Amino acid sequence: MTNPFQPPAGVSGDADLQTVVRADVARALEEDVGAGDLTAALIDPARRVRARILAREPAVICGAPWAEAALRTLDPGVQLIWHVQEGERCAADQVVLEIEGQARALLSAERTALNFLQLLSAVATKTRHYVDAVAGARAQIVDTRKTLPGLRLAQKYAVRMGGGTNHRIGLHDAVLIKENHIAAAGGVTAVLRAAAAVAARAQFVEIECETLEQLAEALDAGARMVLLDNMPLPMLHDAVRLNAAHPAGPAILEISGGVTLEGLRALAETGVDRISIGTLTKDVKAVDFSMRLQDLS
């Protein structure tokens, strides 16, 4: 399977897809199976079964590497046939995966595999809805740090599978100057001057602006990436014009705050470059999957 997970600058090269998957699955299986599955132990260890995983609703499939790892950890010889590939849409009641392997292992890995599929497919599906809503506009749909603790890289991977773009991974790889940073540092110009000292270690330096006056000051102080926070639509149009006319050339403009699917198209048509949306990873409804077994003995 092609590895679409590309860590941004500042993140260790060891944080590739398989490293992330192995760590996530190990934690999940330890949490669920622990010292052993007492119920699966009732099954003959020699018994083999065939199983099918079905999606009970339309979705963008995501989480295959995690599901596979959960199954292979408990049955290294398990046979898997995917009928819907990662990042593709499925229909309601469609079989997405066929499995053949040891009955005990499949029963023990079932919930862990489905948990990853239901969460990551939910993120990818929701992201695809937002990406489709801005089709044809220049704006990219971008995620945030509003993720489940311990599953940030998995959820950000799912955003990419849904067609979205990753923002910073954490506090360590980029500078995002928000209202409280500006107040604590003594103003827009002062905080941007201070940011210059760490810019070489950061993927980017971005500053939040709530007014056109703040935007003008930020651009004059050399800002090349600006987050327009909770601005009403007419002000956003003014901000885009102000940015385009600046002598230093236009900075990258990002919208954040109060973004809804219903109002998304109008925001994208202002001409901004990015729209960041916390709900992609924060407010997700799990996709319904189920696994059904057939005895092969």
How far apart, in whole angstroms, are the C-alpha atoms of residue 55 and residue 67? 14
Q: Could you confirm whether 208 is annotated as catalytic?
A: yes
For the question of residue 111 being annotated catalytic, the response is: yes
HSE value, Cβ hemisphere, 13 Å, CA-based, for 246: 23
Whether 126 is catalytic is no
Bridge-based pairing of strands 274-276 and 140-142 is parallel
For 125-163, the DSSP string reads HHHHHHHHHTTTSSPEEE--S---TT-HHHHHHHHHHTT
Catalytic residue among 50, 72, 111, 224: 111
What lies within 8 Å, CB to CB, of 183 at 6+ separation is none
Is 138 in the active site?
Answer: no
Q: Give the whole-angstrom CA distance, residue 2 versus residue 19.
A: 15
- Annotated active-site residue in 229, 238, 269, 288: 229
Distances (CA, A) of 185 to 147, 192, 245: 28, 9, 28
- Please pick, among 178, 193, 265, 282, the residue that the annotation labels catalytic: 178
156 is catalytic: no
The dihedral of CA 140, 177, 206, 189: what is its sign? positive
Cα–Cα distance, 270 to 137 (Å, whole number)? 9
Pairing relation of β-strands 89-90 and 225-229? unpaired
Residue tagged active-site, from 75, 143, 206, 208: 208
Catalytic sites, residue numbers: 111, 146, 178, 208, 229
